[in-house]
Structure formats: C-alpha cells, structure tokens
Structure 1
Amino acid sequence: MLSQIEKQILKSWIQYAVEPRIAKVTGRKIRTTGPRIAVMGNCQAFGLAYAMKVMDPSATVHHYSAIGHSRFADLDLLAKTLDTYDYIFSHEFPAGHLRGDGDSSALREKLPRVTRTPPIVFAAFHPDLIYVSDQKGGFIFGPLGPYHSALGLFGWRAGLSLDETRALFNENVFSTVGYLDMWDEAARRFLATAQDECGIDFSTDLMKWARKGAFMYSVVHPTSYVLFDVAKRMWEKVGLKPPATDYSYYYIHDLARSEIFPIYPAVAKIFGVQGGYLFKIQNHHLANDVGDFLTLPQYLEACFRSYEKAGADNVVNSRVEAWIADENTKTLLIGLARENLRKGMTPTV
C-alpha cells in the first residue's frame, strides 16, 4: 500500500508531465494556471496547503505528509519531485519517514530554496497534556491516542484510586503545579521558535489569535484561522502577495477531526473562555459516524487500563517522573487529592 507521500508524488508527476500533454491534444483548458506550491510537514501541513489554495484558486497546491513511513520513496525521489514546484514550504521532520536516510535538513541541502515553516506549539490552554513513551522511546497510546494527562499518570504511578486521581483536577492542584501561569512561557517559546527557525515575528498574530479566544485544540493542533494566518506570512516571506480573502467563509477545521483535549475550567477562566472536562476521541471519518467523547471519569479509567497493559516499567514521562522523585511534591499532591475527595471535589464534565 502506498504512503501519502508516494500517492502525492504519483499525482504530482501526472499533473505536471501527463495532463498538460493530454490537454494539448484534446484542447481541454487547465484551470490551475497559477504557481505550483508544495507544502510538506506534520499534521498542520494540510491546513496550510488548504489556506494557500483558498488564497489562489488558480494555483496547484499539493500537501505532502511527513507522518507515517514510505515504502518506496526516498529523499532523492522526493527532492526531484519537489523541484518541479515554484514554491516549497516544509516543517522540520526527522529521518524515518522516507525510505533510507533523509530528514528536513537533508532535503534543504538538496533543495536550498525550501522555505522552513514554523510549527505551532502552544501549551497555555492545555498545560496538563503530555506524551508518554515506553522504554524504547515509542509512544504509549491511550483513549486519546498520544495525548495523556500528567495528573492522571501521576495518580496511577502514585497508587491513587480513580476517585482520588479525579480529585486532582481542581484549581488548588493546578495552582500548585503551575498550570495557571503558563501563557508567558508558551508565548516566549512559540515566538522564539518562529523567529529562530524562520525569521518571522508572529507577536502581532499571536495577540490577534488570543483576542478570538481559545485557538488550540491541543498543544500541537491549532484552529484553521491560525494556519491561514501562518500561510499568509509564509507567502509574504517568499514574495507572494496574499489577497484579501474572507477565509472564515471557507473554513475546514481539519484538525478538529483528531483528538481534542479539553481546557480545564480553572485554566479557561483565566482566558475568558468556556472550560470543561470533555475529551474528544479522534474521528477522521465524519461522513460515516459522528464520533464519541469521554467524560473525565471515563477518560481516567481508560488511561489506567492502558497503563496497566503497558506495565509500570514501560510508562515514562519526565514531568511525572520528577513529581514522583520529589518526595515533597509527591506528598503534597497526594494530600491535596485526598483532601479534595473528602470535600466532594471530584469533577466529571
């Protein structure tokens, strides 16, 4: 079975080399008379590509996913294919997605005109979201795929019951572990990464997104209007002029099909948005099914099952390990959990 990159490479060569010849013979007019644009990268790349297509419907815009593994395509074939485009935008990606060796740095060596695109990573709305790995460095998947709760994992590691763990999800605990004071650091990291990797100052854009409310579905999944603004900035960087477009009329919230981590009420209160404990399970087939959600008790119960299945020695996260290793922190969190439980402070949704 072909990977997404391999399917896109095949499609690209058909559109680039075959269809114009057929059109010349048949007299058919080709609508995509504008520039050829390739967008390669992580889960955010599709939204960027879609935004660029909206900005110039005459353009040929192709999305290349740096997620998953290619069976046949190597770096040379990818570079040769991308070289047929007028503009190439790419996130950073590690080796392993292509056959043989080859990461984003190697791609830029072969194609220096590749424009680096900043990843949108912003943790202030979801400070409890973590990734959990096994001893080999692979991801441990739970009910929300790779998205885990640090407090949930701590509760399991510390031997708390499900009810005691649920009692950790209160403002006094969030304040203790620093969850209510994350904005400045999240903003600093995002702006610094964009400046260092791409030479772009997104401070004005960040203020605009903040005025609209919660602009992230998770730490790494922004809303579509964020990706539209990033697409405009990338066009400006390469000398393209973004037209005035009411992008909101053409929104596709692609990343909303994936897992959505809730914004906890005490965190939401800081930003003036609606909070809760409703966890959305990924569903990329909305045409067939509306999908499903988990309450906080359901989510924690499913997480505990996944940790039990993996085994204590195979569930690793540096933040939780630090909490467990610090006896004062561990004792304080356990005490707060039990005190909150006695007071009936066990949220659900």
Structure 2
Amino acid sequence: MRWLTWGAKKSTTNMMPGAAKQAAAPRRPLAYEAMIENAQAAKPLFLVLSGCQHKMIAGFLETLTLGKANHYFLSIEKVNAFDKGGWKAYQEELDKADYIYTQKKKVADFLLSQHRYKDKVYYFPVISCAYFHPDIAYIQHSGKKQVGPLGDYHSILVTAAYFAGLSQQQALMAFKPEIYNALGFEEKKQRERAAFINRFKKEGVDLSSCVARWDKDGQWMRTVNHPVRYVIYEIVYQVLQRDEVPIANHSPSVVDWVEDDLARSAEWPLYPLNGNNDFLIFKSPYSFLDKGIYFNLKKFVEYSFASLDGVDRENINVMGCDIEKAINVLYTLK
C-alpha cells in the first residue's frame, strides 16, 4: 500500500523540471515538418487585393483548390495610389502569383494594362447588397468619414430624425412600415437585389439561382457589404469555375474550414414588417475585453444621437439617399 502511495506521489511531484511542459506540448506526427513544408509550397499561388472580404476570399481560394493565398486589405487611399506607384509595394508577390484576384476595379484595370500581369489578373465585384438593410447609409462630415455606434454604418432614419429636431423617443416612432414606405425602402430593396445580380452577371458570374436559394435561408447579408460565410464560399466557387481554375476539394464541410472573421464585426438587424421592434438587436464592430457590444433599438438611437452631436447639417453628405426628403418625412412625427 505504501508502494502505491509512493508511486502516485512520484508521478505528480517528483517529475524532472520541464517534464510538465513536455507533457503539455501538442502531439505531432513524425511527418509534421514534411506536412508544413508541403503546405508552404502548395500550388496554385493566389494573391488577393481587396477590401474587408479579402481574408475569407483567400481562405476559400486555398481550401477549394488546395493551393495557397496571400491577401491584403486595400483602403480607398491605397486603391487611389495603386496606379501611381502604390502597386510596387506588392510587386514581389504580384510577380510570384499564379492568379491575382481583386474586387477593386481600378486595381484590376491597372494590372490588366501591364503586360507582365494581364494574363493572371481576375476581377469580380465587391459582394454588396442593401436588400436587407435599406436604412443603412455612409456619412461624410466635412469630407471625412463619420463614425457611429456601428462604425461606418449609419441609419438614414435616425440621422434624419436628428436633423429634423426630433427627440430620441420621437425617433423611435420612425421605425414603422408607414415611414419605410414613405421613403421608398421597398423599391430600394428590389433595385438593390437586381443590381447585385446584374453586377456579377456582367463579370460572367450568374448568381440568380444562388440568390433564390439563399433567400430560403433568410437573411444572408449582415450589413450592406458583410455577407454570411456561405455566400462568400459560393461566389468564390462560381468565380473559380468561370476562370477555369480546377477545384480539388469537394468536402461537404469545406464551408466551415474558413474562419468567419466578418462575424466579429457589425451586424444590422432585419426590420420586422409588423413594426414590433422589441427584439431588434444591433451588433457593434467594437468590443470590450474581447467581448462583443450589443444593444437594442432604444440604445442604438441614443448612441447615434450622441455620435451626431456637433455635426452640422450643411457639411454632411449622407451617401445613397435623399436625406432632405427623409428629414421632411420625419418632420411629421414631431
């Protein structure tokens, strides 16, 4: 019995210094280094130059072709500087890549004009559609982006209510079907859906059947330019077929192999047609202690009003809408 006790004690307290660390090390096969070497040398080699969707696009290019993809986020400033020498920052990777994918038309046009790259540059549009979110707009104040509780995304209704001189309580009354109809939200939704399909069709990608299928699953855009993961997967799949790039991976779970980094960003709710807004939850792109920040419609209005404090009406540009019309419509709620 004493021997058993001593043996148990020895296994927990008399280990050599580093033994615990060694035991905690991840288990790896003897072929691990060869696996890493092969992964690093995977082909084809893609280069993705795009906006916020670049990581997931690169991820699906890799998983579908079993290749390798490098990716870079191009801001508006970088896109505008690309043909003025900015492209040189990516020259080494541009030269090495087998395929160059971009969602930036200006970048694509420049690279296609360069003899050394023209045969490996492929373009497809940004995945953007305001069908689910006709209330979202971007705002510039004195030529600079205005930031609110959902980052660059702003509510046309809340912005119009603020400049119409409504109280926060009155602004809440703007979220009802009568106001949506007065501002032409339904017509905007249909235009957005058609424009989305047509943009891709012009680039040789027919998404009409995909959209019909996605609709059956409900809301497939988190914001106007943040699609859910399977939408990016299916579009990348269609693009690879268009460009005759061999697809090597048909795993039924391949869509789950790519991290959904856009899920950590903003999410705008779908407004109910019955006007019951008790369950509307907005997800901010900001976080606190690595945890998301969420709020209901009342708090969203409160935070949006606070973000507009000090912004003068004469120097704002609410893009994609007639803000004066919206202000006039909301005056009726006073």
TM-score, normalisation: structure 1: 0.75
Please report how far the alpha carbon of residue 68 of structure 1 lies from its aligned counterpart in structure 2 after TM superposition: 7.0
Is residue 63 from structure 1 mapped to residue 36 from structure 2 by the alignment?
Answer: no
Q: State which of 125, 147, 150 in structure 2 corresponds to 1:144.
A: 150
State the distance in 2 between where 1:206 and 1:230 align: 11
Please report how far the alpha carbon of residue 77 of structure 1 lies from its aligned counterpart in structure 2 after TM superposition: 3.9
Structure 1 spans left out of the alignment, 5+ residues: 1-25, 95-102, 339-349
State the distance in 1 between where 2:278 and 2:218 align: 12
- Structure exhibiting the larger radius of gyration computed from Cα positions: 2
CA contact (8 A) 2:287 2:293 kept: no
CA contact (8 A) 2:134 2:189 kept: no
- For residues 1-349 of structure 1, the aligned pairs below 5 Å read 29-31=37-39, 32-57=41-66, 59-67=67-75, 74-92=86-104, 103-110=107-114, 111-112=117-118, 113-136=120-143, 138-196=144-202, 198-242=203-247, 243-246=249-252, 247-266=254-273, 276-283=279-286, 289-317=290-318, 319-323=321-325, 330=328, 332-335=329-332, 337-338=333-334
State the distance in 1 between where 2:201 and 2:147 align: 32
Please report how far the alpha carbon of residue 275 of structure 1 lies from its aligned counterpart in structure 2 after TM superposition: 9.3
Q: Which amino acid aligns with 2:95?
A: D
Distance change >3 Å, CA 92–CA 278, structure 1 → 2 = same
Please report how far the alpha carbon of residue 313 of structure 1 lies from its aligned counterpart in structure 2 after TM superposition: 2.8
State the distance in 2 between where 1:129 and 1:177 align: 13
CA contact (8 A) 2:50 2:72 kept: yes
User: Per-residue CA shift, 1:69-90, capped at 9, x if unaligned?
Assistant: 6699831342442121111111
State the distance in 2 between where 1:189 and 1:179 align: 15
Distance change >3 Å, CA 39–CA 267, structure 1 → 2 = farther
State the distance in 2 between where 1:305 and 1:278 align: 18
Kindly tell me the number of residue pairs found equivalent between the two proteins. Answer: 290
State the distance in 2 between where 1:130 and 1:52 align: 31
Please report how far the alpha carbon of residue 228 of structure 1 lies from its aligned counterpart in structure 2 after TM superposition: 0.3
State the distance in 1 between where 2:94 and 2:207 align: 27
SS of 2:145's equivalent in the other structure is coil
Runs of 4+ in 1 over 4 A off after TM superposition: 68-73
SS of 1:213's equivalent in the other structure is coil
State the distance in 2 between where 1:116 and 1:282 align: 28
Relative to total residues, which structure has the larger strand share, 1 or 2?
2
User: What root-mean-square deviation, in Å, do the aligned CA atoms of Structure 1 and Structure 2 show?
Assistant: 2.9
* Bigger relative CO (Cα 8 Å, ≥ 6 apart): 2
Q: Which amino acid aligns with 2:124?
A: T
CA contact (8 A) 1:262 1:276 kept: no
CA contact (8 A) 1:266 1:275 kept: no
Q: How many percent identity over aligned positions?
A: 23
Please report how far the alpha carbon of residue 282 of structure 1 lies from its aligned counterpart in structure 2 after TM superposition: 0.8
User: Per-residue CA shift, 1:278-323, capped at 9, x if unaligned?
Assistant: 11111479xx522111221211122112212333333221524331
Please report how far the alpha carbon of residue 130 of structure 1 lies from its aligned counterpart in structure 2 after TM superposition: 0.5
SS of 1:185's equivalent in the other structure is helix
Distance change >3 Å, CA 37–CA 251, structure 1 → 2 = closer
State the distance in 1 between where 2:293 and 2:230 align: 25
State the distance in 1 between where 2:275 and 2:302 align: 24
TM-score, normalisation: structure 2: 0.78
State the distance in 2 between where 1:275 and 1:203 align: 34
State the distance in 1 between where 2:185 and 2:256 align: 35
State the distance in 2 between where 1:69 and 1:333 align: 36
State the distance in 2 between where 1:268 and 1:252 align: 35
SS of 1:132's equivalent in the other structure is strand
